């Protein structure tokens, strides 16, 4: 196969993967309240 053809196919696959990743992030946003509640205690209690 031609090297340029392989490079073009690789670029298209990367663009499709990035597009799918961005769409997944748009559909399910990160829940900040869940990450904060289960993590560290509030700053007043940390000393």
Question: What single string gives the DSSP state of each residue in 1-47?
Answer: --HHHHHHHHHHHHHHHHHHHHHHHHHS---HHHHHHTSSPPGGG--
The whole-number pLDDT of residue 12 equals 98
The pLDDT tens digits of the residues spanning 12-33 come to 999 999 999 998 888 876 655 4
């Amino acid at each position: 196969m031609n090297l340029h053809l392989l490079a073009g196919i690789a670029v298209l696959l990367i663009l499709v993967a990035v597009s799918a990743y961005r769409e997944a992030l748009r559909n399910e946003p990160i829940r900040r309240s869940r990450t904060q509640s289960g993590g560290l205690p509030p700053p007043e209690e940390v000393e």
